Structure 1
């Protein structure tokens, strides 16, 4: 049988009344003071118990509010113990608790979703307050800056003061381009900022995107368009000159054999025509070399075992590697990549030959190739040569730029273009006096 709060109250009131009557009787009528004392004690206990029983509602209500305050939604109240009115009250408590629990669960799911979304995007995201305390730094930004933790914005000061200044000065809705160097790697960062307030607290949100590859691709496209125009115009001008000079040379030589021209005149004309013919041929050869940059054949992709490819290149270049400490290491033996071996061979051979030229004056020349295939296939070619000066490192992939005597300046530009056709990247890291590394990622 369910207990009724009303019946319990009536029972306790009757009990207290009975005890009070007995107390009055023994104290005033029968003058039995010992029994009066006992009944007085029983009466006090009954009154205290009655107050405690009635006060349970307040305690339940206080427990309910405290549970909500502490985000504890596991507390439940009995809906079948104290009569209809209290059961309805407890039912309302439980419904409110369940509603808050649902809201909290939805909020937690939404938080996890947004957190996963922020971590998933490849754009670096940084959020900080007016005291420059960092509240958010996603994984993309940690990888970009190679920094696992950042508590305050000032922590970037030791990395690059230009970057810190740009972050502090960028205005909401503004875009900024910052060039920085991290771990000997050049980055072109595009910064975009916005600001907002939450519960009256100011926050600034800055996004970071490394657009170096996009800039390099656009720059290469621009160079290719320029080269196409130049080679077309040069070839159109040089070809008839070369043909005409060759024809005139043959005519004068024929006339000379017939003896119709005097010797000094013939000699001057022949010398001039020979110079024109020679320079025209040289200019044609020069133009053809640069035309190669715009006429890379489409890659024919197939699965390639990287170890087989590098061993083949090592065999090919073995005569050049006799006095070089040459070593290839693999993260694992069977690393494979989808590539055009002819084109990729050309890239690796070109980089190794550049390294050999850089090592000509080194006492203990070394070239190391490290192959890693965890996320992407990564081939790192490192030499211990003199390195590349900081003011030149961002120009070495520019067509026509060269630091070598007699160099054409298209080798590395061509290599980068080939790697780009493989949807990969070719980067350089160098420390003057310590060496240079070229990193191919496919």
Structure 2
């Protein structure tokens, strides 16, 4: 019997991630119980460090081939909205969810799509000031794609920043790892999709994910 180092590393990474998630949850409970902690810079830095470690642990995982299944994105989008709403409300940031009716099913790895959207929502939150707005939306276009977008009213980016924003270890945030958007890019590419950004300094940013909708048997036969 041989030892599968890849599987062993994945298992270890999974266990470490679980422990970090528990620590992060307990920190959130403490912040809810003792409101003054939200104003403590050391407490905030601990939360940021945990988030950075989780991103580093997850970076290699996104290189695997996604486990594609036919699925609806609506439950995932509703879950993310419910999870982020109280957190953003505490930061005085409004969150809106727009899902087009009759959104088509796609073949996707929901755990990876979830990770990509969480990264985009976290980035939007970090870029948004008090009174800002974030919009998570989903629709379909005329080219057989699901269109997922996360838009904010934050600081925005220059064209020079946008040119490098998806490169690993490139960050324009203080203390940032530069892995969040690289992870999103890796996930989207693994789904044969496309990731883009529109942004202007002072006018916010909008990140758009295009994911292919599987063709019906009739459409396949017509090709």
**Per the alignment, in what secondary structure is the counterpart of residue 380 of structure 1?**
strand
**Per the alignment, in what secondary structure is the counterpart of residue 162 of structure 2?**
coil
Aligned length: 155
Question: Aligned Cα RMSD in Å?
Answer: 2.2
1:437 counterpart = 2:193: no
**Structure 1: gaps of 5 or more residues:** 1-284
| Aligned partner (choices 370, 382, 399) of residue 137 of structure 2 | 370
**Could you give the per-residue CA deviations for residues 292-330 of structure 1, whole angstroms, max 9, x where no partner exists?**
347633211112212211011122223312132211112
**Per the alignment, in what secondary structure is the counterpart of residue 176 of structure 2?**
coil
Preserved contact between residue 62 and residue 112 of structure 2 (Cα < 8 Å): no
For 1:347, the equivalent position in structure 2 comes to: 116
Preserved contact between residue 99 and residue 139 of structure 2 (Cα < 8 Å): yes
> For residues 330 and 316 of structure 1, what CA distance do their matches in structure 2 show?
17
For 1:331, the equivalent position in structure 2 comes to: 100
Q: Decide whether aligned partners of structure 1 residues 298 and 394 sit closer, same or farther in structure 2, where only a CA change above 3 A counts.
A: same
**Per the alignment, in what secondary structure is the counterpart of residue 378 of structure 1?**
strand
1:407 counterpart = 2:176: yes
**Per the alignment, in what secondary structure is the counterpart of residue 160 of structure 2?**
coil
**Per the alignment, in what secondary structure is the counterpart of residue 428 of structure 1?**
strand
For 1:25, the equivalent position in structure 2 comes to: none
**Could you give the per-residue CA deviations for residues 171-217 of structure 1, whole angstroms, max 9, x where no partner exists?**
xxxxxxxxxxxxxxxxxxxxxxxxxxxxxxxxxxxxxxxxxxxxxxx
> For residues 86 and 158 of structure 2, what CA distance do their matches in structure 1 show?
30
The structure with the largest alpha-carbon Rg is: 1
Query: Larger relative contact order (C-alpha < 8 A, sep ≥ 6)?
Result: 2
1:301 counterpart = 2:68: yes
In the TM superposition, residue 291 of structure 1 has moved relative to its aligned partner by 8.4
| Aligned partner (choices 303, 306, 316) of residue 83 of structure 2 | 316
In the TM superposition, residue 363 of structure 1 has moved relative to its aligned partner by 4.1
Q: Decide whether aligned partners of structure 1 residues 339 and 291 sit closer, same or farther in structure 2, where only a CA change above 3 A counts.
A: closer
**Which ranges of 4 or more aligned residues in structure 1 deviate by more than 6 Å?**
none
Normalising by structure 1, we get a TM-score of 0.33
Normalising by structure 2, we get a TM-score of 0.64
In the TM superposition, residue 369 of structure 1 has moved relative to its aligned partner by 1.9
In the TM superposition, residue 409 of structure 1 has moved relative to its aligned partner by 0.9
**Could you give the per-residue CA deviations for residues 144-183 of structure 1, whole angstroms, max 9, x where no partner exists?**
xxxxxxxxxxxxxxxxxxxxxxxxxxxxxxxxxxxxxxxx
For 1:417, the equivalent position in structure 2 comes to: 186
